[in-house]
Amino acid sequence: MSLVLAKWRTSLGAAALLALGELVLAALAVAPGGLALAADIGRRPAATVFAAGDWLHVLVDLHVASGAAQQGITPSPMAGASAAPTPLGAIAAWTLVLGTIAAALHSLLYAFLSGAALEQMMGRGSGLWRGGTRWFPVLLRLGVILFFLVPLLGAGMGVALLFVPGNGFTALALKGAVWVVWMAGVGGFFELARVLVVLHSDRSAFVAVRRAARMCAARPLALAGLWLALGAGNWLLSALIVLLTLGTSANSPGLAWAIALFTIAGGTGFKMLRLAAATNAVLVHVDKL
């Protein structure tokens, strides 16, 4: 653990940049809604009710009002005080588009910064920029492989679990847990591949994936435990934070911003911790060979 933490500390620069990048990308994605709030929509009582945590009631009211507006019974629910209404659909569409762009940019940012962080963790002393640019092409290719493989693996396990008998609560909860563990393992596997790219200076993402597969085959239990602890735990923590804050009031903006920044910092810190653990695991495995 101390070795992992030591490696993690070397990546703090990359983690800070990743956190800043996430903040900017998230703000970009929710900007349409934010701009609407700053304008007329923010002056409607629904906005403050929503901010108070009563979001589901507001969504019901919006749904009802939109339906009535579509029938020409009432004006658009998001019509502001100015002459031009603020179309809710356009805000949602832009948020979707910008969210997708943000997710893509986030992948690119992580491909860059993870390479830089791994250089630091392996003690090569490269600067962030040099380390990032050195590994960006191959890590980007690895990301493309991920883009296709991960949904297949997730859907495949989901379908397989459907055929497992049992529909009661306990059976469904167990199936859900199995799926989460599986996906945590998939995530960990590709982190392993990422580390191996840097360790072996692979220029082929496929070669790194094959190495990762051989390594997992050699030490499946240890690695499974690692991913379970770090991957599933990360998701659980994120989900808990989101659920616990979702229905609570955001009327204390200081607290709301603190939670948002904690989410960002915690998530990026945890991500780097996983990379550090993966690096340590690889180096230990190599030592043992």
CB of 225 to another protein, least distance (A): 17
132 binds another protein (CB under 8 A): no
Helices 253-288 + 169-200 axis angle, to 10: 60
159 binds another protein (CB under 8 A): no
Q: Which positions from 73 through 102 interact with another protein, judged by CB under 8 A?
A: 73-75, 77-79, 81, 99, 102
Closest CB to another protein among 75 and 225? 75
Selected from 12, 16, 87, 107, the binder of another protein by CB under 8 A is 107
What is the total count of residues that contact another protein (CB under 8 A)? Answer: 96
SS3 of 91, please?
A: helix
Stretch that binds another protein, among 38-46, 129-137, 201-209, 278-286 (CB under 8 A): 38-46
Q: Name, in order, each residue with C-beta under 8 angstroms of 41's C-beta and a sequence gap of 6 or more.
A: 47, 78, 80, 86
Contact 78, 86 (CB under 8 A): yes
Q: Give the Cα separation of 95 and 33 in Å (integer).
A: 7
Distances in Å between the alpha carbon of 7 and those of 11, 57, 126, 153, 169?
Answer: 7, 47, 14, 30, 42
Q: Give the Cα separation of 204 and 207 in Å (integer).
A: 5
141 binds another protein (CB under 8 A): no
Is the C-alpha dihedral spanning 159, 161, 164, 169 positive or negative? negative
The upper half-sphere exposure of residue 118, i.e. CA atoms within 13 Å in the direction of its Cβ, equals 29
The upper half-sphere exposure of residue 283, i.e. CA atoms within 13 Å in the direction of its Cβ, equals 15
Closest CB to another protein among 105 and 289? 105
150 binds another protein (CB under 8 A): yes
155 binds another protein (CB under 8 A): no
CB of 120 to another protein, least distance (A): 18
Q: Which positions from 195 through 254 interact with another protein, judged by CB under 8 A?
A: 231, 234-235, 238-239, 241-253
Selected from 2, 152, 163, 167, the binder of another protein by CB under 8 A is 167
CB of 108 to another protein, least distance (A): 9
Q: Which two tokens stand for residue 13?
A: 């620069």
CB of 288 to another protein, least distance (A): 28
Q: Which positions from 47 through 66 interact with another protein, judged by CB under 8 A?
A: 47-48, 50-66
Closest CB to another protein among 13 and 99? 99
Stretch that binds another protein, among 1-9, 37-45, 157-165, 205-213 (CB under 8 A): 37-45
Q: Give the Cα separation of 52 and 249 in Å (integer).
A: 4
Q: From the centroid of its chain, how far is CA 25? A: 12
